[in-house]
Each structure stands twice: as C-alpha cells, then as structure tokens.
Chains A and B, each alone.
Chain A
C-alpha cells in the first residue's frame, strides 16, 4: 500500500477495498518508523488524522459521495497554516504559533477529503536550498542520508520519497518544490503564479511564492492541482482563470509537441551525471514524437542576481510582522528592555542566520539611495527574463532543462558559502521570476545512485500541456516508480 499513488488510494477507499483508517494507519506507521532518521516532519498529527479518516469511512458507509482525494494522506509544509496545528515555518520565532485558520489550499484539500498527517520540515521561512536552515535540524535525503533532500521544501519531498505520504504540499519561491523533488526522485509541480491561492502561506517573497504538490506520478500532481487551484476571494493575486480537469489532459500523446532546449544556458557548470540523465531524457521525449528545438534565454544568466534582489526585498518586509508584539517568540532577556531592544533581541534570537542575512540584504536593496540601483533595476531585468520566455514560447510549447545543475550534495558541504548555495538555483529561479508553471520529474540517477530531475516549463496557465509532456515522459520510464531503500 505504501507504494500506492494518491489516485489508487482514492479509488480503493471510495470503492471500499480498503478503509481510510487502514490507509492512514499504514502511512502514519511508516512515518513514525522513518522520521527519526529523516527528520522530515516537524509535527505528526496521528490522532487528528485517524479521526478524520474514520469520518471519511463513516460517510462512505452512509453512502455519501467522497471527495477526489478521499482518504489520501497528505503532508503539509510547515509554512502553510492549518487551523489548530502548530505552524512554525521551521523558525524559533514561530515555534509555538498555532494559526486560528486554514490556508485556502488546506481547506480545499479537506474539502476533497484528503487527510493531513502532519507538518513537514523546511528551510526557515522557505529560505534555502538544502533544508539546513531549519531551526529544527536538517532533513536527510532518503536516498542517501548524509545528503541534503534539497530545499526549501525538503521535508515534503523526503516524506513522499520515503513513502510517508503519497502527496505533500510545498511552496516554491525560486525552486523550493522542484529542486527537492529532483533531489528526492519524486514529482514536484510549481503552478503558474496566481493559479493557486497563497492565503495562509507564510510569505517569503509574495510576487514569487507559489504552492504546489509533491507526488509519485504526474497524474497525481494533476489531480492535486485540480483540487487546490482556482480563484480565491481571500487572495487578490489568485487568478480567475478557469481550472480544467488536468488529469483529463494526460493523453500520452506528444507527437509534434515542440520542446525547447536552451543549449547555451545549460552548457556550463552542469554535473556530468546530471547532463547524461538530462540528455537521455530529452532523447526519450524526442522518441515519443516531440520535436526538440534549440532556443535562447539570453537573460537567464541574470536570473540569480535578480532573484536575490527581488526575493530579499520582499522578504525584508514580509518578515517585519514577526516582532514579538502579538504572537510568536518575544525576547525576555531583560525585563527593563525598551521597545527597540525588545524588537532587536526578539528578532536576533528568533531568526536564524540565513533569514537575518536575507532581511539585511532586502532592507539594503530597498533603502533610500539604493532602491533604483538594486530593486528597480532588478525589476527591469525581471521583465527581460519574462520577455525571453515569451519569445521562446512563440517557437515552442514546453522548455526542458535540468532541475538542478548538481546532484544532492552532502549536508554541510555548502553551508559555508551562501553564494555557492544560491548559484545552485540557476535553472529554477527564472520560472518564478516569469511566473511560469514548471515541473520536475525523476529522470534517472547520477553517480552514487543520486536522483536527477528533469524540469519542464510551460506557458502561463498552460499546466495542461506541461503535465501532458511530463506524463508522456513518465510513461516511457520507470524512474518515478523506484523507491529509496530506507
């Protein structure tokens, strides 16, 4: 059962072949068994999950119609609010914060009868690419426990890879779903900006953040996306674009589909094993009838600096609310401290090093006298990055790149050099800057049996084509069916 997809579990629960409680217990047992080694969960909510599963069974017995994710255990990244469930963003500053409301995606999963089994570890406030920035310790990669699962949604990726849940939600600001999906050998989808409501997502960079699913199969990702996507009166940036039944678009037919490959952009600094897997993957796509087209993304090389200016600027403002006044951690070092001291101590003690680094960067970027040179310039280049994609999509339907230039690296290997860590996001950040949907699907292994991800990027709100291409690839391979030996 642990190897089952979400789609299969839903069918089995709805048809009564298995009860939601049995499913829930199996995945909870698995989670308990492996979490000590992986540290993928900040919180496991067994009782609540079992009660919800029992309720689903009761409703089925009463002949009621069940939701599209009925009985599917789901792990939620710990930067998404679940009413009554501690939500920390893996930060000391929110260590005991219990939100009084559900994120829209959580409410929609509940409406689809999915069962939340817990909150997953991540980089603090989703800032990081290795999960080493969590206040609660790093997550370990189920394929190689001395290595990173990627970040920032490392816990969600590891949880799905280790079969703790067939479905998890993450958030992706510069690759935080796709990169860990690639590192953990699972499917990870970042929808178009605005496709999924951000209400209840603890904001890192509001113009880049987007919530998406981790799954074993593209079909499950399509199913989950249909369940969580769509307009939301609580999020002014959530699009009113109609939400199709994405699973229905998975025809397996990509004959004549034009897949763009930015050869020059992916030529440098890519690990040999990653390159080999990527070349094989685009060969497979061509074998399925797709047409490979060389494209150029001339401004893509500026995406990293642009990203770290825009994202840190927004983060410096988004994280201002964590000030010790209303909720969360408050420094009590000195009873007689004045307001300014309370603020600075609270934030100094409550935030980790990387979060503070980014707040300082972002504050600087927005400061009087620097705004034009940094923030404004970055926004202008962001427009150029977006235009690159627009031009490319005149010639092609989907763009293929490796998800990450490197395979999962060892824990501690890159923590001393933040810049080196930032550069690992080179292939993922531009989709966020342009607002485009992108997916990472397993495409093989590099040396040492470390997973490699193939990233496909689609047109705005054209997840249907993106998912069709990814699904067609998946049908020709069995990488997604392989499980780590944990």
Chain B
C-alpha cells in the first residue's frame, strides 16, 4: 500500500508592536514593564465619552514597514471596529482595519525553498489589548487581574499568503520579517515582551492537489522555535488524521509550548462574529503621495542592499558583509569606523573581531557599546601609521572599551607608541646580541628559529613597542655586518 504524501500549506499572521513613544489613540506611554495600570487614561481605559485620536508616528511607522516589504500603501484606508467581549478589551471592541487596510501586496524572499518569494496579503493597523493576569496573585484561583498598560499600544498585523510549504520556511519567514522590522526601527524585536507575535494558518493536501485542505489557525507562537515546533506538530496531526480516515476540522488551536502540542480552542461554530463596521469616531486615513515619499526618504537602507553595497564599495568579502549587516546598528557602526579610519578591511576585522567578541563576553548589544565608532577608527589609524603594533593595539582596545578614553590619549599617557627610532632600537639590538652569543652562532649555522628568538628578545626588551619591521632590519644588518 502506497501512503499518500502530503504537502503542508502555511500562511502567517504577525502582530508587530510599533515602537512609538505613545499609544495609537492617546498620549499614554508605551513603555514596557511599568507598574500595572500606570500608563492609562480615559481613552485607553474605554471610559464613557472618551474618543480615539490617531497617532501620526504610528501611521508613519506602519507606512515604513509597508514600504520595506514592498507593499502598496493605500491612499485611503478605513478603521473599523472589531466587536467582542473580553475583560482586557476595554471598549468591547478593538479598533482595527478590515475591508480597507493600510497596505496591500508585497513580499519577502527567504533562503529556504531555493530563494522562495513569500507573498504578503496585507498590512493593517490596530490597537493592542490589555493583559489578563490569571496567575501570580494569592487569590488567582478566584480572580483575574487586569493590566491596561498595553491597551492601545499600536500594532500592525502583517498577513502572508499561504505560500509556505514547511515549518522551516515559516520560521525563516518569521525570523527574516523580524530582522527587517527591527532594522527599519519600527519594532524592538523583543519577543519575550510580546513585541512580535505570530499565528499560523496550517493545512495539508495531497502532493499534486491544487485545492487547499481544511485549515486550522494556531495561535500563540511567540518564538521562531515555537513556530517551527507548532507547525510541525500541527502538520503531523493533520496528516495522521487524514491517514487514519478522519478529517481536519476548521478551528482555532492554541500552542502549548511546554507540551509542544496544539489544543483545540474554539470550533468554527464557536467562532466570534466580530460584526465589523467602519469606526465612526475616526475619519478615513488619507495618506498622500508626499507622505509616502517622506517615509521612503526616511527609510534606512535595507539589509540586502547594504550587504551588496559593502561588498561593492568597501571590497569586503561576502562573509564580512553578511556579519556586519546582521543589524542596522552594527552596519551603521561599522560604516562609520570604515569611513573615519579610511581602511574598510581593517575596520571590518576590528569590528568583527575585537568588538563583537568583547560585546559577546560582556553580554552587551551594539546599541550599548561604550566605544564610539570614531574612537575605534582612531585606533586603526594609529596601527596603519605604525604608531602602534597590532598586538599593543589590542591592549589599547581593551583599555579604550573600559575607560572611554581615546587611543591617542592612552598611547601618549602610557608611552605605548611603537618605537620607530632607529638609534634607540639599535641600542637594544646590540644588547640582545651581546647577551645571546649562542643564538647568534645558531643563526650563522642557518637556524632561522634562532633569528626569531632574537627578534622576540628585542620586542621583549622594548616592552613590546619595537616596530617589528625595523627591529628585523637592524638585526639582519648587525648579523651581516659582524664577523
């Protein structure tokens, strides 16, 4: 018996918090982690008579995201009310967009599936809900507590086409989308704080069939790993069902990260009728061409473009360009170092080497790096102009990183400059030769190791400051010149 082979069909819906200072419809702060219900007002608490007023920055961020993903920003979009009752939803409806979203179309190319282009359906704007706290209080068995700090935080929902065919494709899509959203500065990428949340629509169909199978919506996938695990689980579940002669039921399922399984949350029959209708408290959102152009102009160069430019303009190897464009902040840092040092490859070596290593050791982010790009460039210039040897430079780097002092400062204060002065070096060379007749004899006998030993002695006596090139030349000359 030949088992039927199935093909998964996956589409994602991603909720992305926009990094505005204030909420989407009021002036309350969006800062995470404040004491419960400290960032609230009549508007985001849904008090009687309060009205929403749209945050311009949220719109500009949404437009930026839409442009970065190649979507078509609509000249007019309409806010709508999504009506349902839940305690963390203070108005009894969520202000969202429905029939006429902010942006349509767009795509994102992933490496999996041979450079697959995943289509986007739409991007719409909406407000986040508050948080229901079911645990962590002495009376949590009887009570749910509510924190409305998150109520009204601006979101965009990005909906993909059902273009993905594996859990790996889906999790790569999610990861790549996150990188871009963080890169363009609209999202902080902090999935643990819920800045980015993902639901997946999953179905399977026999390979070769064009019609879609019955899909389930899997909610609560808040890490790349969970996306991967939940989709794999759900695909297997559906295939098992079909293989066993059963059928997939259209429903909403919840992913339980501890068990790694999905569980039925509500059936199609229990699905909410959200009774969407246009939000009468907000006029249509009109975005004119000038605003789109301003957003385009304010858009940072996207990762792909920047990588290509690093290769072309700075002659960097592909690997370096890839590492340096992992985040916008790193790329920007690198580029400043490269420009100011006038040596792109050395800049790349320093940033990828000492800098990233030190950041990793300290568990720090590039955004928090205490060492200014200009300072690192200064250090590189000292090496390039032979003031510092590269080994001394590494020590200086460590001191700069901790103290915030400039390379020049450290070098002159601590007398670390490389010894280029031939007469001073000459004296050291002579001392070394006098003290090591055996080594000289070995060199003369053709043992190159012994020459290296002598250079090392010169370096040692100079406190590591001797310019190795000059030390070499002097030693050679002395050895050649003396009988």
A binds B: yes
Q: Which of B86-94, B406-414, B419-427 contacts A (4 or more CB under 8 A)?
A: B86-94
Would you give the shortest CB distance from B87 to chain A, in whole angstroms? 5
| A235: B residues at CB distance < 8 A | 51, 53
- Decide if B277 touches A375 in the complex (CB within 8 Å): yes
| B85: A residues at CB distance < 8 A | 320, 323, 343
- Decide if B91 touches A321 in the complex (CB within 8 Å): yes
| B281: A residues at CB distance < 8 A | 203, 206, 236-237
Which residue in chain A gives the minimum CB-CB distance to B279?
A: A206
| A237: B residues at CB distance < 8 A | 51, 280-283
Tell me whether A341 is interfacial, beta carbon within 8 Å: no
- Find B92's partner among A97, A321, A366 (CB 8 Å cutoff): A321
- Decide if B90 touches A326 in the complex (CB within 8 Å): yes
- Find B275's partner among A97, A339, A366 (CB 8 Å cutoff): A366
Give complex CA distance A235, B91 in Å: 17
| B53: A residues at CB distance < 8 A | 233-236
| A366: B residues at CB distance < 8 A | 83, 275-277
Which residue in chain A gives the minimum CB-CB distance to B283?
A: A236
Give complex CA distance A94, B47 in Å: 11
- Decide if A317 touches B83 in the complex (CB within 8 Å): yes
Q: Mark A180-211, 1 if CB is under 8 A from B, else 0.
A: 00000000000000000011111101110000
| B286: A residues at CB distance < 8 A | none
Give complex CA distance A319, B81 in Å: 13
Tell me whether A74 is interfacial, beta carbon within 8 Å: no
- Find A81's partner among B45, B49, B87 (CB 8 Å cutoff): B49
Q: Max chain B CB contacts within 10 Å: which of A81, A87, A235, A317?
A: A317
Give complex CA distance A62, B33 in Å: 49
Give complex CA distance A202, B91 in Å: 12
Give complex CA distance A234, B52 in Å: 7
Give complex CA distance A223, B311 in Å: 71
Tell me whether A368 is interfacial, beta carbon within 8 Å: yes
Give complex CA distance A207, B278 in Å: 10
Q: How large is the interface on A (under 10, 10 to 19, 20 to 34, 35 or more residues)?
A: 35 or more
- Decide if A363 touches B47 in the complex (CB within 8 Å): no
Give complex CA distance A395, B17 in Å: 52
Tell me whether A367 is interfacial, beta carbon within 8 Å: yes
Give complex CA distance A202, B90 in Å: 15
- Decide if A317 touches B51 in the complex (CB within 8 Å): no
Give complex CA distance A320, B84 in Å: 8
Q: Interface of B with A (CB < 8 Å)?
A: 42, 45-54, 81, 83, 85, 87, 90-93, 146, 273, 275-277, 280-283
A/B interface sample: 28 pairs, CB < 8 A: A81-B49, A89-B48, A100-B47, A101-B47, A103-B49, A198-B51, A202-B49, A203-B48, A203-B49, A203-B281, A207-B280, A234-B51, A236-B281, A237-B280, A237-B281, A237-B282, A314-B280, A317-B81, A317-B83, A317-B92, A317-B93, A321-B92, A322-B48, A366-B83, A366-B275, A366-B276, A366-B277, A367-B275
Q: Interface of A with B (CB < 8 Å)?
A: 80-81, 87, 89, 94, 97, 99-101, 103, 198-203, 205-207, 233-237, 313-314, 316-317, 319-323, 325-327, 339, 343, 363, 366-368, 371, 375
The 8 closest A-B pairs by CB, nearest first: A320-B92, A366-B275, A206-B280, A207-B280, A200-B49, A202-B48, A321-B46, A81-B49
